[in-house]
């Protein structure tokens, strides 16, 4: 089965910062760490199955439902070209922040109190602009990331590879390896090899995803995502200080 060209890799990480610098220095993010290696542990994590394989659609449904009432930070990185996405959600106060970077450029937005605030990077006299919020958030297809993962993690079959223990939490490791996948619209001899790994906790949250794509022609593309739950507040950008989001 063909998958979209865009790819995502989400790895098991311990910290909160990206591999690439961003314009926001207020974040308390820490460096990313490598994905854990699957191994046998005493922890068990139940996964939905269908026809002998792991049911990825239901895993993503559970992920989205689990984050629907949780505060969280979701961090995504893509290499080749380099860019990042960050989503912070404070459920208690109804505040969401989305930041995206592409090389040296940064777009930043906060949704709070029925208003969408967007940072301005091309006018030195204006820090941000406002508009009524329509309930949607900018720069990402969904806060949880489930919508994007459905497009990217489109392998024929996913299987459980094992369990890892990370930060005191058992994580089921789900993976798929595809090789010699033809590229639509390209030279018939051009193919892509894909390796994806998904790390799921007992609550159903997809904590990490590691997706890598390499074509027979061209550079590899890697995208990494991490989800951290239980945050106390969003990381407030400098341009939003005067909004008084936290009093």
List, as one string, the DSSP characters of 134-199. Answer: -S--SSSS-SSSHHHHHHH---S--EEEEEEEETTEEEEEEEEEEEEEEPTTS-TT-EEEEEEEEE
Residue 45: both structure tokens together: 């994590």
- Which H or E run contains 15? none
Q: For residue range 128-180, what is the model confidence (pLDDT) as tens digits? A: 999 999 989 999 999 999 999 998 887 668 899 999 999 889 999 999 887 76
For residue 200, give Cα distances in angstroms to 49, 66, 145, 218: 14, 11, 14, 31
Of 5-14, 32-41, 50-59, 79-88, which range is least confident? 5-14
Overall number of domains in the chain: 1
Domain assignment present for residue 13? The answer is no
Quick check: is 173 in a domain?
A: yes
Residue 182 domain-assigned?
yes
Per DSSP, the three-state class of 126 is: coil
Q: Which residue has the tokens 């602009």?
A: 129
* Residue 104 neighbours by CB distance under 10 Å: 9
Q: pLDDT tens digit string along 118-141? A: 999 999 999 999 999 998 999 999
How much is the pLDDT for 70? 98
Judge whether 116 lies within some domain: no
179 is a domain residue: yes
What is the residue range of 204's domain?
49-83+140-233
CA–CA dist 168, 10 (Å, integer): 19
pLDDT in tens, 13-26: 333 333 333 334 34
Q: Would you state the structure tokens that stand for residue 161, as one six-digit string?
A: 């590879």
Q: What is the pLDDT of residue 180?
A: 65
* 37 pLDDT above the threshold of 90: no
Instruction: Return the pLDDT at 16.
Output: 35
**135 belongs to a structural domain:** no
Q: Has residue 24 been placed in a domain?
A: no
């Amino acid at each position: 089965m063909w998958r979209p060209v865009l790819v995502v890799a989400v790895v098991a990480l311990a910290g909160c910062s990206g591999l690439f610098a961003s314009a926001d220095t207020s974040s308390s993010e820490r460096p990313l760490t490598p994905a854990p290696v699957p191994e046998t542990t005493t922890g068990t994590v139940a996964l939905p199955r269908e026809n002998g394989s792991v049911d990825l659609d239901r895993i993503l449904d559970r992920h989205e439902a689990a984050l629907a009432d949780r505060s969280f930070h979701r961090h995504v990185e893509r290499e080749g070209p380099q860019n990042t996405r960050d989503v912070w959600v404070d459920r208690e106060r109804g505040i969401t922040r989305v930041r995206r970077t592409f090389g040296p450029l940064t777009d930043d937005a906060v949704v709070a109190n029925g208003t969408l605030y967007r940072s301005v990077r091309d006018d030195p006299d204006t820090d941000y602009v406002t508009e009524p919020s329509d309930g949607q958030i900018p720069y990402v297809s969904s806060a949880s990331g489930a919508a994007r993962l459905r497009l990217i993690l489109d392998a024929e079959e996913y299987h459980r590879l094992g369990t890892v223990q990370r930060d005191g939490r058992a994580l089921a490791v789900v993976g798929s390896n595809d090789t010699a996948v033809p590229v639509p619209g390209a030279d018939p001899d051009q193919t892509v090899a894909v390796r994806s790994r998904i790390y799921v906790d007992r609550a159903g949250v997809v904590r990490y995803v590691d997706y890598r794509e390499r074509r027979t022609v061209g550079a590899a593309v890697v995208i990494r995502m991490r989800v951290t739950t239980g945050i106390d507040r969003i990381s407030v950008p400098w341009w939003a200080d005067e909004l008084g989001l936290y009093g």
